[in-house]
């Protein structure tokens, strides 16, 4: 059974930094991509950043230059280094993994970790 365990969320002041981690277990097929999404109250879930196992990263415009996504492929772990945090970054952050099976791709999601940016 695939499980994603996130950690690293919390309360931080504007301009501060946080590092999120997400460790995936129970995966025995190829991972195509890993990523982070977020959902603020009253909003839809939105892309933050994704990265392929080849290292190609994609960022949402609001976080470009402030956030960095990286992976440890051997450990099936994805990280999100967040710097220059702003109040509008406040949201629940969800880890996502896309696994490739013979009959297609499957998305898996973590339980979410709260990030609050406030003074």
Q: How many helices (H) and strands (E) does the chain have?
A: 0, 11
Task: Return the pLDDT at 73.
Answer: 84
**29-86: pLDDT as tens digits:** 898 999 999 999 999 999 999 999 888 999 999 999 999 999 998 889 999 999 999 9
- DSSP 8-state assignment for residue 112: -
Average pLDDT value for the chain = 95
Contact 14, 29 (CB under 8 A): no
Phi, psi angles (nearest 5°) of residue 32: -85, -40
Overall average pLDDT of the 19-32 stretch: 92
In 3D, which of 35, 29, 27, 68 has the Cα closest to residue 52?
35
CA dihedral 76, 6, 39, 100 (to 10 degrees): 20
């Amino acid at each position: 059974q695939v499980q994603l365990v996130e950690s690293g969320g919390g309360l931080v002041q504007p301009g501060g930094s946080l590092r999120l981690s997400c460790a995936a277990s129970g995966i025995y097929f190829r991972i195509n991509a890993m990523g982070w999404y977020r959902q603020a109250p009253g909003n839809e879930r939105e892309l933050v950043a994704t990265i392929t196992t080849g290292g190609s990263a994609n960022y949402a415009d609001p976080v470009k230059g402030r956030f960095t996504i990286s992976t440890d492929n051997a450990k099936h772990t994805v990280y999100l280094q967040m710097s220059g945090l702003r109040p509008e970054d406040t949201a629940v952050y969800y880890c996502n993994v896309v696994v490739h099976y013979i009959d297609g791709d499957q998305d898996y999601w973590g339980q979410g970790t709260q990030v609050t940016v406030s003074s």
